[in-house]
Structure formats: C-alpha cells, structure tokens
Amino acid sequence: MHGKQIARLILQGFHAHYRGFQGITEEARDRFVERDWVAIQYAARARISFYDARVNECVETLREQLQTDIPDSALWQHVRTFYEALLQFHPQAELAETFFNSVFCKLFHRRYFHNRFIFVESTLARRIPLSVETEYQSYFPVADGVKATLRNILEDMNLGAPFADLERDVHALMRAFAKQAQVRALSAHQMRVDVLRSPFYRNKAAYIVGRIVTEQHQYPFIVPVLINRQGQLYLDALITDVDQMVIIFSFARAYFMVKTRAPSALVRFLKGLMPRKTLAELYSAIGFHKQGKTEFYRELLGHLASSDDKLVAAPGIRGLVMMVFTLPSFPYVFKIIRDQFPESKPFGRDTVLARYQLVKRHDRVGRMADTIEYSDVALPRERFSEELLEELQSTASLSIKVEDDLVILRHCYIEKRMIPLNLYMEYASADETREIIADYGLALKEMIAANIFPGDMLLKNFGVTRGKRVVFYDYDEVQYLHEVNFRELPKPETYEDSLAADTSHSVAPNDVFPEQVATFVFPNKALRELFIELHPELIEASYWSQQQQAVAEGVIADVFPYPQHIRFHYEKKPDTK
C-alpha cells in the first residue's frame, strides 16, 4: 500500500467510529423521552467500548496489508503528512489525529512513538480554530423580551416531549434568575443569551447549558430538565454557581451524551464557562475519553518540561494492591499494580484489571473517580526519587521497566489527586468532621443505590475533593451489590455463649456483616457514634438487602448532581418515580 491509501484507510476507520459514536449519542433523546433508564446505562457502557473496536478493525486490515511490525520511515512520514492534509478543514480533526495515533501505536513498538510518525503535538495550533458559534445559538431579549426569549430557548431545545406546564417553568426560571445577584439588575437590552444547541443527556436528566453575555461579563448557567411519569418535561433547577457546574461536569460522574459536529468548538465554549476544567477533563466529560487521554498526555509532557520536582510515593497509607505515586506539583496520582498481594487480598492481577474496567463502564454517580488507563508510558528516570524507584523495582517490577534514562510504566492508572479521607480527618475541625462523615455515608448510599459495593470501606480508600465531596478511588475489591450476601451477626443463644472468647460463626466468601462496618471504619468511639447517629441504616443488614432488592427490580435511583435546596418547588411536584 502507498502512503495515501493508508492515510485514507485510517481516516475511513475514524469516520466509521464517529458515525457509530454519534449514532448512539443521538438516540439519547429517545431513551430519555421513553424513560428507559436501563437502556441509557447500557448505551453509555457500549459507547465506551466503541472506540477500541473500530481501532482494532483498522489495525487488522493494515496488518494484513503491511505484514511488518517495523514502520518504513519514509512511508509513514508520507502517511502522516497526507493525513494531516486531509484534516485541514475537518470538523473533528483533533479526534481524527488521536485515532491515527491509536492505530499506529497498536501496529508498532513504543520506540517509534514520536512526532515524525504520530501526532504527539496536535496540528490544530497551526490552524484557524473552528468557530465556537457553530455550537451555540444566540438569543436577544431586547427584541422579544425576557419571558419570550426563555420560552423560545426551551422550545428550540427540541427535547421530544411536551412540557407539563411551560408557563410555570418560564416563571420559575425568571424568578431564579432574579435571585442571582450578578444578573438581577440587568435589563433586556443589556444582555445576550448564548445556548449550546444540543442538550447534554445523562442518566435521568437533560441539561441545557449556556451563558448570559453583557458588555463586561459573562454569567454561565445550567438548567436540568426532568421528565415525569406521564412523559411530560419540567425544569428542575437553575445552576449559576461555577463551582457547582464543575461538580456537574465532575471526573467522578458518567460521561454526557451530547450531539456535536465540532467537538473542539464545544469544548472551548465549556472551557469559557468553567476555566478550572482542563481540556482533558472536558473532552472526557462529553464522552470523548480517548481524546481526554491525548490531551492529558500533552498536559503531562508540558508540565514535565516546565518543572523539576521528583516523583514520590503519594501521602497516606501504602496500598496493598497498588503502588501509588505522584509529582507534588502536578494534581494527579499514578497507580501501578504490585507484583504480589498479601493473603488478605485473595485475587490476582487480572481481577484488579477487571474491577477497574467495571468502574469505568459503570455509572459512577459522582462518587467514584474516573481513571485514565495507559500502557507503555515513558517517563524520565531523573524525575523519580531514588526511594520511589527502588520501591517500584522491588514491589512492582512486573509493571515497570527501566531503559537507559527512561522508566517505562507498562500499565498504569492515573487519577485526580485528592486528600485521603483518613488524613483529612486528622486535621478537620468538629464541624468539618461532622460534614465529611455525613458525606462519607451519603457516598456509600449513592454507590449501593447504583449497584456498587465498594468492598473495602476504610477511610484510606476515599478522597476529599476540592469541593469537600467524598469520592471513592480504590477499586481492587469492588463488586456489584447483587453479588454480596448481607447478613446479621448471630446473637448468642446463652449467657455462656456471650462470654466465650472463641465465639465464631460460618462465613462464606461473599458474606458481609453491616453491623461491623462502623467498628472497622471508625475505631475511634466518638467518630463511630457520630457515624451511627448520621447513618444508622448503614449498620443494618436489612437496609443493604432492601437496596439489593430495589436493584433486582430494576429501580434506578435518583442521584442529583446539584443540591436539593436549589431545586424548584412547585405546589404539585410532577412524579419522577
């Protein structure tokens, strides 16, 4: 095959991927209107796997044609040059570059992964960026009035179902906007409203995302839209606080489904609303998690070039399954699997890999950190502290390889760095302790409602985010809730039994005794009593069994990514169950 044929074949493979990806995404509205929550979760899982399937198809075709694992330098430089030319006016150029990289990296050895053959650096920086206006619609209240403008925005979203009471929703939205200190003094002629053309679908909601633009400022907003049992739409809240918007787009939540023709333009719009979010986080949030990986890697390379601190073991208790390390100046941690596990971890490497994949494909309900999974990551040896490198070589030799001045991470997971919950508790005030224990219990409840049993519930396996939310990040003992057998501790039958030092009872591998949760997690009596006060049901086997039953009956719990107190409260609330 000559260079142009190879380039066109890879681009055709990308187009097949993007059509399929958008096909699944565009069906989100119908699943939402039909209230088919199970189908929504199934589609989200299927979409995550779609990319690798298309890459593998393209790789197999090229292997049959090329029949070599050593790239011809002149040929592949020609392939890259022509492929870049094909992307000159391509609306998904950055995604197509990443697809090209994925194909090449599966075909050839890591030693060939440099900018002559692949797009280590994106070519987009050398081009005129796609117009952000392609992704949003502008509205002008001076022409139609505020009330009519809001009505037009809601109707233009084309959500596929009638509103239960559109006029009520418009008035609720106007009242909510009036309460916002930033915008209440504005008149219709002093603003423009920009709204992304496509709603963002996730779980049981559709989200309208936009901004109010004035001469001096812009005010971002998100409006969640829900649907009642009668198939009627209603607005549930108005979110204008940027910190709260960041939580809605959190790394601990499932990916949105949103139709877009120009992802780079959509991401730039979102970046303008939430400047704290990185490109990697935003691409991942809208479902392009492979592009998120690419952007993260570029971010990492840039940070390594502009810093000089050393990689060190992450603060906190050492993991028994994972070795975790971090660059203090970089807000992420690297996790690699240890060579051997202690007897308390009766499983192997394959089980760990499977459990991390389970979480990746599951609804993370805002309580489980997303992971970026890499193979063959090369980092400068000089950036590893001697203590860390020695520990890695002695405990995780199967996961790393030292080659001259590089350390190759054969397989690793990267997560946002958080304060380990056990360390946070050491310095928390009395009020902070109460709030964080309350949120820890809520995190457990939201995970089990989503059919996730975290397994090891010790505080060291949870982190505290910048927004003071508790997020789980250690997945080596994760199971589906329905796989666990929740039991009550046997009561002693006689007085002598209660005094016996060797009192025992039969325990099967998947038996769990919720009464012991507080004791194991909170050896400190005062903290244990506070936990029981705040979440008494979590130490009752019957509560866990009830959650299992709800999962078995197909109940998808309502987990709102915004505070209950900001939700609109109508006299007669539509039925959401």
pLDDT tier at 506 (50, 70, 90 boundaries)?
low
> Average pLDDT, stretch 331-348?
93
Does residue 314 fall inside a structural domain?
Answer: yes
- Say yes or no: 252 and 284 in one domain: yes
Q: How many CB atoms lie within 10 A of CB 330?
A: 17
Q: Is 315 among the annotated ligand-binding positions?
A: yes
Instruction: Flag whether pLDDT at 554 surpasses 90.
Output: no
15, 88, 147, 377, 391 from 414: Cα distances, Å: 29, 32, 46, 11, 19
At residue 180, the pLDDT reads 72
Tell me, yes or no, whether 499 lies in a domain. Answer: no
Rounded to two decimals, what is the model's pTM?
A: 0.92
Q: Say if residue 441 carries a ligand binding annotation.
A: no
More confident residue, 507 or 389: 389
107-121, 205-219, 477-491, 497-511 — which is least confidently predicted?
Answer: 497-511
Query: Is residue 494 scored above 60 in pLDDT?
Result: no
Render the burial of 368-391: b for 16+ CB within 10 Å, e for the rest.
bbbbbebeebebeeebbeeebbeb
**Per-residue pLDDT tens digits for 117-173:** 888 888 877 777 778 888 999 999 999 888 999 999 999 999 999 999 999 999 999
Q: Which pLDDT does position 1 carry in this prediction?
A: 74
Asked whether residue 335 is marked as a ligand-binding residue, the answer is yes
Same domain, 278 and 176: yes
Q: Check if the beta carbon of residue 47 is closer than 8 Å to that of residue 287.
A: yes
Known active-site residue 370:
yes
User: Is position 125 annotated in a ligand binding site?
Assistant: no
Q: How far does CA 221 lie from the centroid of its chain? A: 21
For residues 396 and 475, membership in a common domain is answered with no
Determine the structural domain holding residue 432 and report its residue range.
Answer: 421-494+508-552
Same domain, 285 and 400: no
- Domains in the chain, number: 4
268 in the same domain as 160 = yes
Annotation-wise, does 319 bind a ligand? yes
Phi, psi of 368 (to 5 degrees): -130, 125
What tens digit of pLDDT does each residue of 285-317 get? 999 999 999 999 999 999 999 999 999 999 988
Q: 366 among the known binding-site residues?
A: no
Query: Is 298 contained in some domain?
Result: no
- Is 500 domain-assigned? no
The reported pLDDT for the residue numbered 35 is 95
Count how many residues are written for the chain.
Answer: 577
User: Is 378 found in the same domain as 413?
Assistant: yes
Q: Is the pLDDT of residue 498 over 60?
A: no
235 beta partners:
225
Catalytic site residue from 370, 439, 456, 476: 370
How much is the pLDDT for 113? 84
Would residue 206 count as lying in a domain? Answer: yes
8-state DSSP, 114: S
- Tell whether 225 is covered by a domain: yes
The DSSP line for 370-436 is --EEEEEEEEEGGGB-HHHHHHHHHH-TTTEEEETTEEEEEEEEEEE--EEHHHHHHH--HHHHHHH
C-beta of residue 448 within 8 angstroms of C-beta of residue 547: yes
Shared-domain flag, residues 150 and 257: yes
- Which distant-in-sequence residues (6+ apart) come within 8 Å of 417 by Cβ? 314, 326, 331, 332, 333, 463
Residues 334, 476 share a domain = no
Q: Which of 94-108, 278-292, 491-505 has the lowest mean pLDDT?
A: 491-505
> To the nearest 10°, the Cα dihedral for 262, 263, 268, 273?
110
Taking phi over 0 as left and psi of -120 to 50 as alpha, with beta for the rest, 417 belongs to beta
Vertex 154, ends 153 and 160: CA angle to 5°?
130
Is residue 40 included in any domain, yes or no?
Answer: yes
In this prediction, residue 131 carries a pLDDT of: 82
Q: What is the reported pLDDT for 503?
A: 47
Label residue 577 by pLDDT band (50, 70, 90): very low
20 is in an annotated binding site: no
Mean pLDDT of the region 59-79: 88
**Domain end (from 128, 159, 183):** 128
**pLDDT the model gives residue 181:** 59
Q: Quick one: 284 and 154 in the same domain?
A: yes
| 311 has binding-site annotation | no
Q: Which of 108, 128, 148 is the last residue of a domain?
A: 128
Q: Binning pLDDT at 50, 70 and 90, where does residue 177 land?
A: confident
Average pLDDT over the chain, rounded to an integer: 91
User: What's the N-to-C CA distance of the chain in angstroms?
Assistant: 58
Residue 564 lies in a domain: no
